[in-house]
Amino acid sequence: MGAERYIYGVTIYLYALSVLFFFSDFLHASKRRNWIAMSLLIGVWALQSTFLFIRFMERDFVPVLSMFDTLMFYAWVIVTFSIIVNALFRMPLFVFISNVAGFGMVAASLFVTRDTSAAISRQLVSELLFLHVSLALVAYAFFLFSFLLSLLYLTLNYMLKKKRWNKLVLRAPSLSRIEPLIYGSSVIGVPLLLSSLILGIIWAHQQTVAGFWLDVKTWTSFLVFFVYAYYVFRRTVSNWSGKPLALSNAIAFSTVILNTFISNFGISFHRW
The confidence score (pLDDT) of residue 46 equals 94
State the pTM of this model.
Answer: 0.77
Distance CA 254, CA 256 (A): 5
The confidence score (pLDDT) of residue 217 equals 74
Q: Where does residue 152 rank: exposed (0-12), middle (13-18), buried (19+ CB within 10 A)?
A: buried
Tell which wins on pLDDT, 87 or 116.
87
Does the pLDDT at position 69 exceed 60? yes
The confidence score (pLDDT) of residue 210 equals 59
Does the pLDDT at position 269 exceed 60? no
* Terminal alpha carbon distance of the chain: 22
The confidence score (pLDDT) of residue 208 equals 62
Tell which wins on pLDDT, 122 or 193.
193
Tell which wins on pLDDT, 40 or 159.
40
The confidence score (pLDDT) of residue 1 equals 60
The confidence score (pLDDT) of residue 41 equals 92
The confidence score (pLDDT) of residue 198 equals 84
Q: What mean pLDDT do residues 53-73 have? A: 70
Does the pLDDT at position 84 exceed 70? yes
Tell which wins on pLDDT, 94 or 61.
94
User: Which of 80, 184, 82, 67 minimizes the C-alpha distance to 133?
Assistant: 67
The confidence score (pLDDT) of residue 214 equals 67
* Pick from 19-23, 58-62, 200-204: least confident: 58-62
The confidence score (pLDDT) of residue 42 equals 93
Q: What is the pLDDT of residues 1-47, one digit of tens each?
A: 667 788 888 888 999 999 998 888 877 777 888 898 899 999 999 99
Q: What is the pLDDT of residues 100-151, one digit of tens each?
A: 888 888 888 877 766 655 545 554 556 667 777 778 888 888 898 889 888 8
User: Distances from the Cα of 125 to the Cαs of 82, 109, 120, 200, 206, in angstroms?
Assistant: 30, 21, 8, 12, 12
Q: How confident is the model at residue 234 (pLDDT cuts 50, 70, 90)?
A: confident
